[in-house]
Structure 1
Amino acid sequence: MNELDERPKPFLYAVVCAAGVAGDVGKLITMAQDRGWGVGVVATPQGLHFIDGAAVEAQTGYPIRSAWRSPGDPRPLPPADAIAVAPATFNTINKWAAGVSDTLALGILCEAYGLGIPTAVLPYVNSATAAHPAYQESLDRLRGMGVMVSSYEPHPPKAGGGADRFRWEEALELLGPAVDARR
């Protein structure tokens, strides 16, 4: 066995928010697994309603996390080597940038900065919410924290969402070099 074979596979947390494309998170999981990643899903409480939990758990081999565990309970996921927030909603982006940690997903994201975990965000917002000054300020703050932001352009409101333009693979494209540099 050579040195490369002995390295543990990197582990990705896919943080999933309540957005129309969230039901396709299996695409990100498959792409990550095909590249040798282990994957665990952390969903916002509302994000849980947008995904097929049984299918995601079968695909990853791990339970979906959405709530804090009780003291003494084992950690259900390995530590994250990287995090992809996909899809990321207006609400999550603004709370994360402000340091609000009122859900497990946001707690993980806020802590990731201090731990130096490479993090990519794929916003999925409409142009009306993206026009709010807080949104751009939040993206600027996240970039200043080292978060890698996707190139997705907001879709028109009430128009079905632009799911065809949502590039799940961009999360791995953004994270790849950062994870390689840490190894």
Structure 2
Amino acid sequence: MKRRKLGAAALVLLAASLWAMPAYADPGDVKCHESPDYLVVQRDRKDWRSDFLIKRKAHPSDQTQCAFTQQPAAVLIGGRGKRYLFVSQKDDLLVLQHFGSKSPKYGPHLKLIVLGERLVESDLGILSGIDEVKDEGIDLWMKIDTKPDKNNCPDYISGSEGADLDKYINDKDEPIYLIRKDFLDFASRKIVPGTETQCLGPH
């Protein structure tokens, strides 16, 4: 779990990041996500990733400007070398996809960021897909560590091509793996495991 302090240090980092900001799709490609206490300003880049500027409101009725501009206590998520996509914002929770280099075979990591005096970031695992974003949480598919076998990956045993299960499990470039339909509960701020699974891999 990572913690990011707001304040002078954050503003120095923000200024440096804005100075070296990557090219954007268009100067006007800005959208905002709002809760009673926070405004999250999203600016899209040409590489189909986004940067986010977190602005805290002094009062829920404040009309904070929807603009990607520096202001006291604003904090940047993203910048050079960072690759994020927006998923959802709910009150003081921000959910993002993070594209790193650790698991390129499987997909982005799901990040839950708690907004506050400190930004608290949690890595919830590898995201395979999103079904639906609801008021109470998100229906999604997450990669799990369960080993593929003839019961949970039957298509790789009796498929039309007579696939060899061991060959696909041990494939270094495109191994098969299991995903599970889970639920990210905003109230508990945790992943609630489901029971439905799917086997993914080359066909």
Give TM-score scaled by structure 1 length.
Answer: 0.22
* Higher RCO (C-alpha 8 Å, min separation 6): 1
Higher share in strand:
2
Give TM-score scaled by structure 2 length.
Answer: 0.20
Which structure's CA Rg is the greater one?
Answer: 2
